[in-house]
Amino acid sequence: MDLYEQIIHQEAKVAVIGLGYVGMPLAIAFAKKQVKVIGYDVDQEKIALYQAGVDPTDEVGNEEISQTTVDFTSDISKLEQASFYIVTVPTPVNMDKKPNLTPVKKASQMIGSYLKKGAVVVYESTVYPGVTEDICIPILEAESGLSCGRDFKVGYSPERINPGDKVHRLENIIKIVSGVDQASLEEIAKVYELIIEVGVHRAESIKVAEAAKVVENSQRDINIAFMNELAMVFEKMNINTKEVITAMNTKWNALKFYPGLVGGHCIGVDPYYFVYEAERLGYHSQIITAGRKINDGMGAFIADALIKELVLTNKVVKQAKVVIMGVTFKENCADIRNSKVEDIIARLREYGIEPIIVDPWADPMEVKEMYQLDLPHMNEVTDADCLAFAVAHDEFCDLDWGALDRLFGQVPLEERIIIDVKSIYQQQEMERMGYRYWNL
């Protein structure tokens, strides 16, 4: 009986290492198929929430968390019970934009110390091509004393979960899978086919699978960078970017990308992994690097536009009450990792402004820890000089005129500034109502 058969007959366990926006839904999905699952994370507070039936990510919801059979734990010794390991730890970049592989290395060390013959290890964490075979496998072999290919198998299957997306879910996104040999590829594919309704794509090699992940996000990054550059130029031309895009999108082959802040754990990070490995091999990336430079500068560009509007409205900049609407990296999502709203905050602080942050999705404790700012309820805010809509949460898109009036309070109509990063409002309508309006 192979490992796949053991898993479906509950004679072998799957361990998911790292229970964030990727790992937790993955563990839940396997448990739904009557697979015995160990969900491991070093964060004891997070584990306590899961054990109490609370989903802080809002990816699957409290009901599913409370009903799942996943064994949520921070007890590392339980990894010894597993035979199929899936690594979903974060792979961020350092301050110098170079890959930080510490989490994936530590995960490899942990697994290696419990690895036994016949086991399979699959990495889902984003890495540059070569990391799995050149860095992770040697760690597994050194810690276990076993040989990859002979005693255990390794594969790579890049995560494709889109946090906050209730349409494109784990189960209906094609999963790329790969293995060190054909046998491991087929076994890994069969295990993932248990939970992926639309099937899997068998990549020719681990490096192909690793490259596919960083390239698909680099492609999006470059396209958004192009739109951001257009937005900056149209600002000088006094042309409304949204109106240009609307006109352009009437053509059948328009790509329908929009300008904006590019953060999060994928698009704002993955290109740096590709650039790092390319430069290590002697090639200096031009397009990807340029795209990253543009997108990394958008926070400061938006903040400067905000300051300009304050000046043109005769506000005393340091005394202006600026309210930033949204701090997560994308709409209808609680994830604040690598949110580029941070860049807007940092730039405003250079001008002596301490902005107020409003976000119905973000965790107040996380915001306090990361930005040293409290997170008041929207109903507590009034007399704002400027509302900067940085994230298009449904709660913001649904605000009526009365709600906007309450946020501005006693500020005269002609002095009310709206900075609309996501273009959730119509310029003509906002100006007709008397607001001073700017959109990206």
Classify strands 200-202 and 153-156 as parallel, antiparallel or unpaired.
Answer: unpaired
User: In sequence order, which ranges of 373-419 are alpha helices (DSSP H)?
Assistant: 394-397, 401-408
Distance of alpha carbon 13 from alpha carbon 34, whole angstroms: 11
Helix (H) or strand (E) holding 39: strand 37-40
Q: 10 Å Cβ neighbour count for 352?
A: 11
Q: What is the separation, in whole angstroms, between the first and last Cα of the chain?
A: 59
Q: Is 148 a catalytic residue?
A: no
Distance of alpha carbon 307 from alpha carbon 253, whole angstroms: 37
* Bridge partners (DSSP) listed for residue 155: 122, 179
What is the 8-class DSSP label of residue 413? G
Distance of alpha carbon 137 from alpha carbon 178, whole angstroms: 14
Distance of alpha carbon 352 from alpha carbon 348, whole angstroms: 7
User: In sequence order, which ranges of 253-392 are alpha helices (DSSP H)?
Assistant: 270-280, 287-296, 298-312, 341-350, 364-371
Cβ(188)–Cβ(155) under 8 Å?
A: yes
Distance of alpha carbon 119 from alpha carbon 361, whole angstroms: 39
Return the closest-CA partner of residue 375 out of 354, 401, 353, 356: 356
Helix (H) or strand (E) holding 356: strand 356-358
Position 254, amino acid: A
**Is the CA virtual torsion 280, 283, 288, 291 positive or negative?**
positive
Q: Which residue out of 266, 333, 386, 397 is catalytically annotated?
A: 266
Q: Residues with Cβ < 8 Å from 386, sequence gap 6 or more? A: 306, 309, 310, 315, 320, 321, 322, 323, 417, 418, 419
Which residues are tagged catalytic?
266
